[in-house]
Amino acid sequence: MTDIRDDVAATFSELYGYAPAGLWSAPGRVNLIGEHTDYNEGFVLPFAINRRTVLALGLRDDSRIRVGSAFADEIAEIDLAELSPERLSGWSAYPLGVAWALGEHGADLAAVPGVDIYIESAVPVGAGLSSSAAIESAVAVALNDVWQLGFDRPTLARVGQLAENKAVGAPTGIMDQSASLLGQQDAAVFLDCRSLEAQVVPLGFDEAGLQLLIIDTGVSHSHATGGYAARRASCERGAAVLGVAALRDLTVDDLPRAQQLLDDETFRRVRHVVTEDQRVLDTVRALRDEGPTAIGELLDASHRSMRDDFEISVPELDLAVETAQANGAVGARMTGGGFGGAAIALVPASGVSRIQVAIDGAFAEHGFAQPTMFVVTASTGATRE
Ligand code: ADP
Ligand code: MG
């Protein structure tokens, strides 16, 4: 962290020829449980992780906005008055899209000064840890501060989502930005995706002697767009046939009727979402009443549901999960949208290296590329440094 912050400030000065006004940062996130429930207006339980995207920002005396990143060769530049989704593309659509989206939410972009921004990130891209929400949230809090907009965090989450939906063109929900903006140390963010009400739920991993291990399979989820859209369509179909506004409105008691009315595939998609919503509620209750050791079976059940009913797992994710479970994990599941990306395993701190060795061995045996594994802790949300 310290290295990144020093580096960001120094590179900003080199790049733009003056010292930045300040540094801001926002974390990536991991979803503990609640997958494909957000767009069904249900429940999710992500937490902000101890890997952050850091930016330096300086104020200009004109209306230009420039943004550079260690990630990219070129500096993107546009006039604030010219910001629109059609004018934005590539990686800079994330940060510039946030500036545009602040305008859509009522910021007067004709009245604020231009800015220079430089970004570095320790959130791996495309690993299911939402480097996209990290960059959006860092830019959102920075501009909210220096432009003195006074937006609250839930509004900034919607700003980030609008940027991602319209400027980038990815039809994602509100979960990632909420986690990145509302996260707290050692706690998860329990989010109702219908009301957008968020509650902080202490995790207590440390006290229980547990750690959360990320196993990034390296399998790209970039070709998942078709699968994601198909799952969303199945959910919408299921809700329409069953006469509810969203699958959120069903409970496990409705499943027998759903099975009668739906074709087998649609039924299984619906069953995943309905049972996953229940598992999120059960996880929150277990964390509050019994502590984190009690959530293991819920994590395992979530994985089975995604593998068998929602059919979004891949062999690498299944192997990571099964190997973790067989080597002492309290619970394990794939996390994120599926078709690749990462799995998580809740493991006794003393057993982390044993599980890592076992997973490395299993992947080698199956001829899979070596996964990247690291422990994450629940950290604080976006902040001025
Ligand atoms: P993830 O699962 O990591 O969120 P996405 O595809 O949603 O994957 O977002 C990754 C994209 O976000 C990158 O391809 C890039 O365009 C943009 N991005 C993320 N972090 C940075 C960064 N530090 N600098 C520039 N662009 C970034
Ligand atoms: Mg993303």
Distance 96 CA to ligand 1 centre (A): 13
Q: Are residues 72 and 172 in the same domain?
A: yes
Alpha-helical runs (H) found in 327-369: 352-365
Token digits of residue 356:
């890592």
**To which H or E segment does residue 375 belong?**
strand 372-376
Q: By residue range, what is the domain housing residue 83?
A: 2-200
Which CATH number is 100's domain given? 3.30.230.10
Binding site membership of 71 for ligand 1 (Cβ less than 6 Å): yes
Q: Are residues 223 and 334 in the same domain?
A: yes
Q: Are residues 9 and 96 in the same domain?
A: yes
Neighbours of ion ligand 2 (CB under 5 A): 130, 132
Nearest-CA residue for ligand 1 atom 18 is: 132
d(Cα 88, Cα 111) in Å, to the nearest integer? 21
Q: Are residues 163 and 286 in the same domain?
A: no
Annotated binding site: 35-38, 69, 126-132, 164, 228
d(Cα 275, Cα 258) in Å, to the nearest integer? 13
How far from the centroid of its chain's Cα atoms is residue 54's Cα? 17
Which CATH number is 276's domain given? 3.30.70.890
Asked if residue 382 belongs to a domain, the reply is no
Q: Are residues 236 and 183 in the same domain?
A: no
Binding site membership of 18 for ligand 1 (Cβ less than 6 Å): no
Q: Are residues 126 and 226 in the same domain?
A: no
How far from the centroid of its chain's Cα atoms is residue 32's Cα? 10
CB 287 within 8 A of CB 246: no
Alpha-helical runs (H) found in 224-307: 225-242, 255-261, 264-289, 296-304
Q: Are residues 138 and 59 in the same domain?
A: yes
Asked if residue 355 belongs to a domain, the reply is yes
Nearest-CA residue for ligand 1 atom 11 is: 132
Cα torsion 180, 183, 185, 189: sign: negative
Asked if residue 385 belongs to a domain, the reply is no
Domain's final residue, options 153, 181, 200: 200
Q: Which pLDDT score is estimated for 222?
A: 60
| Residue 350 CB partners (closer than 8 Å, separation 6+) | 209
d(Cα 96, Cα 203) in Å, to the nearest integer? 34
Q: Are residues 111 and 137 in the same domain?
A: yes
Asked if residue 361 belongs to a domain, the reply is yes
**To which H or E segment does residue 345 belong?**
strand 342-348
- Tell me the best of 4, 66, 119, 125 to mutate to test the pocket of ligand 1, counting ligand atoms within 8 Å of each CB and taking the most: 125
Asked if residue 383 belongs to a domain, the reply is no
Asked if residue 381 belongs to a domain, the reply is no
d(Cα 117, Cα 24) in Å, to the nearest integer? 10
Q: Which pLDDT score is estimated for 283?
A: 98
CB 349 within 8 A of CB 211: yes
Domain's final residue, options 171, 200, 229: 200
Global model pTM greater than 0.95: no
Q: Are residues 305 and 328 in the same domain?
A: yes
Q: Are residues 293 and 183 in the same domain?
A: no
Q: Are residues 168 and 186 in the same domain?
A: yes
Count of the separate structural domains present in the chain: 2
Q: Which pLDDT score is estimated for 1?
A: 46
Token digits of residue 264:
């087998």
CB 212 within 8 A of CB 334: no
pLDDT along the chain (385 residues), means of 10: 81 97 98 96 98 98 98 95 97 98 98 98 88 97 98 97 95 91 98 94 98 94 74 97 98 98 98 98 98 98 98 97 98 93 96 98 98 97 98
Quick check: is 79 catalytic? no
Q: Are residues 212 and 189 in the same domain?
A: no
Asked if residue 370 belongs to a domain, the reply is yes
Ligand whose nearest atom lies closest to the CA of 175: 2
Q: Which pLDDT score is estimated for 6?
A: 87
Q: Which pLDDT score is estimated for 224?
A: 59
Asked if residue 349 belongs to a domain, the reply is yes
Domain's final residue, options 181, 200, 219: 200
For 244, phi then psi, to 5°, come to -120, 155
| Residue 255 CB partners (closer than 8 Å, separation 6+) | 270, 271, 274
